[in-house]
Structure 1
Amino acid sequence: MTAHDTGPFSGRLSELIGQQIAGYRIEREIGRGGMAVVYRARDLRLDRTVALKLLAPELARNDTFRRRFTHESRVAAAIDHPHIVPIFEAGETGGVLYIAMRYVAGRDLRHLLDQEGPLTPTVAARIAAQVASALDAAHDHGLVHRDVKPGNILVAKGTDSDHPEHVYLTDFGLTKKSLSLTGFTTVGQFVGTLDYVAPEQIAGRPVDGRCDVYSLACVVHETMAGGPPFQRDDDMALLWAHQYDQPSPLTEQRPDIAPEVDGVLAKALAKSPEARYGSCLEFVAALRAAASGPGPGPAGHPPTQVDLRVVGVPEAPGAPPEPPDWARPVFVH
């Protein structure tokens, strides 16, 4: 934020803490993307903590997007699934669309991998199974996520030793399909994250749940190998790899893993949706079966549980990050 900024919030973001929007008191920022910012907030009506996602105002000004946002929010809110972050409310205030969701006190998979490193097949499959269950439930309701990636997978502490992690999938395609249908993505562009995007998304072809199978397979590969299946020096090379290159076998990087896993990942990462598994749970079932097969399994491979004792976003001292300029006008004392 620069000195020439005007408006009621031209000062430091710390002034926003404690202010309200649509019945929610803002506590702090917890994430942001190109078209949205997410805050931890307090629901003043029900006295509970929520994650409040604000969408950029240009989205609210597009009538087609607004209609799809309303429809898709209702569909997503109707999905009652233990591994999908529940949506409490969606609406508009001050020209900004917002979604209030359950606040999950946990790390996302991106941070977990950065801190823990590659996971064992047991842990990777345990996490993947919960994500797959959430994705298939969404597909049953006609929703395709389109942006499955570690940053959209929240890993909280589980209930007991048999369920050491509880995984939530977040950031469902409430906006992704709408963006592609309302002119916010131009010809040759797509909505998704390059490391995990399916070939049909890149080509602009119609997508269904099998594009999420592909993206989930990219994530599973990363959980065990330490990186996604395709890593290139520039974006164009990466897009080309997703469409035309074959991934290197996982066992080249993890010889402790059963070689049958390579075949499972190769099928899930097939260029043609028809050649992939028909559902995410089918993919994970095959992964578990393959991982339990004969493998070298040398001593010293990663533990079968990850450290989830430190969960949630720490209350770090100092000023929080600046809010996007478009979000300022909706805040009130």
Structure 2
Amino acid sequence: MGGVPRDAPASRSSHSGRPSGLIGKQIAGYRVESEIGRGGMAVVYRAKDLRLDRTVALKLLAPELARNDTFRQRFTHESRVAAAIEHPHIVPVFEAGETDGVLYIAMRYVPGLDLRHLLDRSGPLPVGTALRIAAQVASALDAAHDHGLVHRDVKPGNILVAKGTDSDHPEHVYLTDFGLTKKSLSLTGFTSVGQFVGTLDYVAPEQISGRPVDGRCDVYSLACVVHETMAGGPPFQRDDDMALLWAHQYDQPPRLTEKRPGSPGALDGVLAKALAKSPDERYGSCLEFVAALRAAVTGSAQGHPPTQVDLQVVGAPVDPGAPPDPPRWARPVFRRLPE
């Protein structure tokens, strides 16, 4: 799996045309074995690294991207930054380069499903599962932000869900597609409306308006993903792209409790803050957002106010400014059990 967008139109090129066109061919030291993902700007193949005898996910970008010098330079820079990030929830990038006029990225091959396929197959996830996935993605995003890299395309298709290690960690999540960011693609003109890479369901308002972005735009996109994992769909669903762009910039998100009755009410406030139109009003990091999600769920699960103890009964000093004592019948009774 390579995390390539599956919701964009297929590209027309010698390297991204018919699925069988490259099967068995050798590209930059990799032998193409099968196609595993396709999007508007790239195709991902399962391939064999002939030098190290290992299976990789080989992503080939559309040739028209390689013809843009500015894009090539930024792509090379961002791929190197992504390759330098060592994190358990970021798909390792082994190599990125250009061969025969085509840009390519070789990444770890991750068996399993991406979150898009998992949601399409299973629908909304249990809250605990959604939180575990969100926490792993948040950790990956914050690590990238610490390296000065903003993902800008957080969505279920870029979140890979592999088998975990044990019952306490039933899934291991990887975030992919750092080397192909919207900042890079905007330099080529491919991010105009109608050519937007991937999907508009998870894009932050500041990305749409062309304002500067930082890690808080990934907080917004992650919140859209979390909403979908719990509610079965992203927060904004409209009939056309322009209406969806408008909704992200101006409409208030629906309450999760309306989409998923019975879910903790405190989640509404947490998601509303993460989906704020202004980055300044959101959480400062993805892990801060996930911590608030956890607090909303665990606080609701406890479901009762903290236990109060009558300090006079246990012999503690009494505050003269404290409210009057409750009647004796309402006080707790402590009895020594027979030894």
Scaled to the shorter chain, the TM-score interval is 0.7 to 0.9
Distance of 1:13 and 1:223 partners within structure 2: 31
Mapped to 1, the partners of 2:198 and 2:20 lie a distance apart of 32
Q: How does 1:45-124 map to 2 (within 5 A)?
A: 45-124=51-130
**Structure 1 stretch 113-122 or stretch 140-149: which is displaced more?**
113-122
- Does 2:201 correspond to 1:199? no
* Alignment partner of 1:137 is 2:143: yes
Aligned counterpart in structure 2 of residue 235 of structure 1, from 241, 245, 253:
241
Q: Secondary structure at the match of 1:294?
A: helix
> Match of 1:172?
178
Change in Cα spacing, 1:43 to 1:236, as seen in structure 2 (3 Å) is: same
Q: Give the residue type in structure 1 aligned to 2:291.
A: A
C-alpha distance in structure 2 between counterparts of 1:231 and 1:29, whole Å: 30
Pairwise CA distance, 1:295: 5.8
Aligned runs of 1:259-270 on 2, under 5 Å?
A: 259-270=265-276
2:279 aligned with 1:273, yes or no? yes
Q: Out of 41, 45, 54, which is 1:39 matched to?
A: 45
Residue 230 (structure 2) aligns with: 224
Q: Secondary structure of 2:171's partner?
A: strand
Equivalents in 2 of 1:219, 1:251: separation in Å? 16
1:278-317 equivalences under 5 Å are 278-294=284-300
Stretches of structure 2 that go unaligned for 5 or more consecutive residues are 1-11, 304-339
Is the partner of 2:57 in helix, strand or coil? strand
Relative to 1, partners in 2 of residues 1:87 and 1:39: Cα closer, same or farther, differing over 3 Å? same
**1:32-78 CA-partner distances (Å, limit 9, x unpaired):** 11111110000010000000001111211111111111111111100
Distance 1:184 1:43 in 2: 31
Query: 2: CA distance between counterparts of 1:175 and 1:289?
Result: 32
Deviations 1:128-156 (A, max 9, x none): 00000000001111111111111110000
In 1, Cα distance between equivalents of 2:163 and 2:16:
37
Matched, 1:211 2:227: no
Shift of 1:179: 1.5
Amino acid in the other structure paired with 1:195: D
Q: CA deviation at 1:123?
A: 0.9
- Which shows bigger deviation, 288-297 or 50-59? 288-297
Q: Which letter maps to 1:128?
A: A
Specify the SS of the correspondent of 1:154: strand
- Residue pair 1:56, 1:96 contacting (<8 A) in 2 also: yes
Q: Deviations over 1:168-190 (max 9, x none)?
A: 00111534211113444459976
Give the match's secondary structure for 2:252: coil
2:159 to 143, 153, 156: 153
Q: 1:16 offset after TM fit, Å?
A: 3.5
Which of these two proteins has the greater Rg computed from alpha carbons? 2
Q: TM-score, normalised by structure 2?
A: 0.81
1:196–1:215: 8 Å Cα contact kept in structure 2? yes
Instruction: Determine the C-alpha separation between the residues in 2 that align with 1:41 and 1:21.
Output: 9
Letter in 1 for 2:78: E
- Name the structure 1 match of 2:321: none
In structure 1, runs of 5+ residues without a counterpart are 298-333
RMSD of aligned Cα (Å): 2.4
1:307 equivalent in structure 2 = none
User: How big is the shift at 1:255?
Assistant: 2.0
> Which segment drifts farther, 216-225 or 66-75?
66-75
Separation in 2, partners of 1:14, 1:199: 39
CA contact (8 A) 2:15 2:60 kept: no
- Three-state SS of the structure 2 residue aligned to 1:165 is strand
Q: Is the 8 A contact 1:136 1:281 kept in 2?
A: yes
Contact 1:76–1:87 at 8 Å: present in 2 too?
yes
The 1:236–1:16 alpha-carbon spacing in structure 2 relative to 1, beyond 3 Å, is closer
What TM-score does the superposition give when structure 1 sets the normalisation length?
0.82
Which string of whole-angstrom CA distances, capped at 9 and with x for unpartnered residues, describes residues 85-127 of structure 1?
0000011111001000000001000111111111122111100
Contact 2:152 2:181 in 1 (8 A): no
Of the two structures, which has the highest relative contact order with CA contacts closer than 8 Å and spacing of 6 or more?
A: 1
Superposed CA deviations along residues 236-266 of structure 1, whole A, max 9, x for unmatched, are 1111111111111101122221100100000
Instruction: Give percent identity, aligned residues only.
Output: 86
In 1, are the aligned partners of 2:47 and 2:55 still within 8 Å (CA)?
A: yes
